[in-house]
Structure 1
Amino acid sequence: MDLFNGLVGEQMKIMEKLLYLQGELERCEEIEMQLLTLQKETELKEIQVDIQKMKEELKEIHHIFEMQTEKVIKVYQEKEIKLTSG
């Protein structure tokens, strides 16, 4: 009977370790998922910064295009005035 009780006691210790390790594994997997999410959030922030830079560059290019268009129109109108006047 002492042998039986000793074996059962060892099994209980092993079961406690097993449950502890399972709990730790689940906790670590949750942390892993949180870290992956944070990494994705970091990537998202990087992409958002890139998007903002592109929007600013696009706005600047649009402004330059408008100025060039106005200049082209002005030069064309001046040329037309000279042709019709002369």
Structure 2
Amino acid sequence: MKTFNHLVSEQMRTMEKLLFLQSELERCEEIEEELNCLVQETELESIQFEIASLRSELKEIHQLFESQTEEVIRSYQNMKVTV
């Protein structure tokens, strides 16, 4: 049970980061749209770089979350088998 609780706790921290990154990505995309309207090329490139970076990090965190989900499921199944 201790392993399962640890895995779930770790997964919740990952979920918090995932949600934070998603909201940051949305914020940056809104800024990108505003800058597109204002045609401020230098700032636009900067925010596009930040968006690309956030998308990459979000993808990594999403993969980590999926991996943790699989590990939580395996742990739970093992816990059921041993009980």
TM-score with structure 2 setting the length: 0.52
Separation of aligned partners in 2, 1:74 and 1:61: 20
Structure of greater relative contact order (alpha carbons < 8 Å, 6+ residues apart): 2
Q: Deviations over 1:3-55 (max 9, x none)?
A: xxxxxxxxxxxxxxxxxxxxxxxxxxxxxxxxxx5xx1111011000000000
In structure 2, the partner of 1:67 is 67
Q: Hey, what's the Cα distance between the residues in 1 that align with 2:79 and 2:50?
A: 43
Unaligned stretches of 5+ residues in structure 1 = 1-36
**Which runs of 5 or more structure 2 residues have no equivalent in the other structure?**
1-38
Return structure 1 stretches of 4+ with deviation > 4 angstroms.
none
Using the size of structure 1 for normalisation, the TM-score is: 0.50
Identity %: 49
What CA distance in whole angstroms lies between the structure 2 residues aligned with 1:76 and 1:62? 21
- What count of residue pairs does the alignment treat as equivalent? 46
RMSD of aligned residue pairs (Cα, Å): 1.6
